[in-house]
Amino acid sequence: MINYLAEGQDIIVSGLSDISLQDTLDCGQCFRFSKIDEELFEGVAGEHYLKVGKQGDIVRFYNTTEELFCSFWKRYFDMDTDYLSIRTSLSQDEVLAKAIKYAPGIRVLKQDPWETLLSFILSQNNNVKRIKGIVERLAAEFGEPIADGFYAFPTVERMANCTLEDLVPLRAGFRAKYIMDAIQKVASGELDLQKVAMLPTAEAQKSLITIKGVGEKVADCVLLYGFGRMECFPKDVWIKRAVKHLYPQGLPQVLLENGGIAQQYIFHYARTCPEAFVMTED
Partner DNA sequence: AGCCAGGGTCTGC
Partner DNA sequence: GCAGACCATGGC
Catalog residues that contact DNA under the rule CB under 7 A. Answer: 27-29, 120, 123-131, 133, 171, 173-174, 209, 212-219, 221, 234-239, 263-264, 267, 271
Whether 187 and 159 have beta carbons less than 8 Å apart is answered as yes
Residue (81 or 126) nearer to DNA, CB:
126
Residue (8 or 280) nearer to DNA, CB:
280
- Helix extents (H) in the chain: 21-25, 66-68, 74-76, 83-90, 94-102, 113-121, 128-142, 156-159, 176-188, 193-196, 201-209, 216-221, 237-246, 253-256, 259-272
Quote the least distance from Cβ 128 to DNA, whole Å: 3
Quote the least distance from Cβ 105 to DNA, whole Å: 14
- Separation of alpha carbons 179 and 123, rounded Å: 11
- Separation of alpha carbons 276 and 134, rounded Å: 31
Quote the least distance from Cβ 144 to DNA, whole Å: 25
Residue (75 or 212) nearer to DNA, CB:
212
Quote the least distance from Cβ 174 to DNA, whole Å: 4
Quote the least distance from Cβ 175 to DNA, whole Å: 8
Residue (54 or 217) nearer to DNA, CB:
217
Residue (51 or 271) nearer to DNA, CB:
271
- Separation of alpha carbons 259 and 224, rounded Å: 9
Contact residues for 85 (Cβ-Cβ < 8 A; gap 6+): none
* Dihedral pair phi/psi, residue 7, rounded to 5°: -135, 105
